[in-house]
Amino acid sequence: MIRFSMLCILFCWSNTISSQHAYWTKESPYEVSWKKDLIISGISAGTFFTGMSLERNEPIVEFTMGSFTQADIDRINGFDRGYAGNWNVNAKDNGKIFKFTAKTIVPIGLLAMPGNIKSRATLGLLFYQGFYLNAGLIGLSKGTTNRYRPYTYLTLDEISRLTGEAEEEFLEDIEGDDIEDSFYSGDAAATAYGLMFFAKIFNDYYPDSKYKYVIWGTAGVGTALGAYFRAKSGKHFPSDVIVGSLIGGGIGILIPHLHKRRDDGKISLYPSQNGLSLVYKMK
């Protein structure tokens, strides 16, 4: 229901602004070039395929449910230790809302930004350059590290007390092949990337808008809540979601920044009847 409401609001908003003439004629704050974008796209694609290959081909670790002891928990750093043994399916479901917003609503929202077809194509290029770079870095991390997820530290006694959906989802997840892929959080990174990317885009399209602060604030709160629920669910430790949020959010801001249209105006002096004229030429 929440997802449907978001789509309805976005649809109404896009129809309202698309009826304005300025909506179609507004200049994009971004520019692309063959040289720069071939490099960025190549790095994104290379990182993505390398990361996915490492993650898919990492050896399957044999794990016995409930085998971790208190000594194993004590070896976890003090910042994360208190989350060992977490399992909360409600928090897991709540976290999915923010990930859905970032991965689905944001791309649709980009289509509603002002400008012509070329402007939207540019935004699409930017979004997927960052999307695949972000996904690739997630794969690289998970494919080269082995950190067990917090819920794997549940004891047999604690597992025996699980009931209903909590028990069903736990047994499904504990049998998965990613129980040692806790670092770093892909969901937190994806959420931060989408929300921060959109905030940066809105900021660059409307630098004088007072609403940009609302957008930035909403993106920050959404990123924080997505990370919070991911850690509370037992899928990740706090350091996992913090690192994921920082990397994902950083990419979301960096990619548009690299494409920001620069003012390459030049100041020139020309002779005139009254001496010299100072002329400023826009690119």
Q: List CB contacts of 87: < 8 A, sequence separation 6 or more.
A: 150, 151, 154, 162, 166, 170, 233, 234
| Distance set, CA 2 to CA 70, 110, 168, 212 (Å) | 40, 20, 25, 23
How does pLDDT run across 4-49, given as a tens digit for each residue?
Answer: 445 454 554 455 444 454 555 567 899 988 889 999 999 999 999 9
Q: What is the pLDDT of residue 59?
A: 79
| The pLDDT of residue 110 is above 90 | no
116-125, 128-137, 188-197: segment of lowest average pLDDT: 116-125
How does pLDDT run across 55-94, given as a tens digit for each residue?
Answer: 888 877 788 888 898 999 999 999 999 999 999 999 999 9
d(CA 248, CA 236): 16
Compute φ and ψ for 8, nearest 5 degrees.
-65, -45
> What does the block give as tokens for 242?
């913090």
Q: Where are the domains of the chain?
A: 29-281
Between 159 and 278, residue with greater pLDDT: 159
Cα 66 versus chain centre, distance: 33
Query: How many Cβ atoms sit within 10 Å of the Cβ of residue 122?
Result: 19
Q: What is the pLDDT of residue 120?
A: 85
How does pLDDT run across 162-200, given as a tens digit for each residue?
Answer: 999 999 999 999 888 889 999 999 999 999 999 999 999
| The pLDDT of residue 52 is above 80 | yes
Q: Which of 168, 254, 162, 244 has the alpha carbon at shortest distance from 204?
A: 254
Q: Is the peptide bond before 132 cis (omega within 30 degrees of 0)?
A: no
d(CA 143, CA 145): 6
Mean pLDDT computed over every residue of the chain = 85
114-123, 140-149, 201-210, 264-273: segment of lowest average pLDDT: 264-273
d(CA 124, CA 94): 28
Q: What is the pLDDT of residue 176?
A: 81
Q: What is the pLDDT of residue 268?
A: 47
Percent of the chain beyond pLDDT 70? 83
Compute φ and ψ for 275, nearest 5 degrees.
125, -110
What's the burial of 23, exposed, middle or buried (CB within 10 Å: 0-12/13-18/19+)? middle
> What does the block give as tokens for 190?
């994806």
Q: What is the pLDDT of residue 271?
A: 52
Per the CB < 8 A criterion, the answer to whether 260 and 204 are in contact is: yes
Q: What is the pLDDT of residue 9?
A: 45
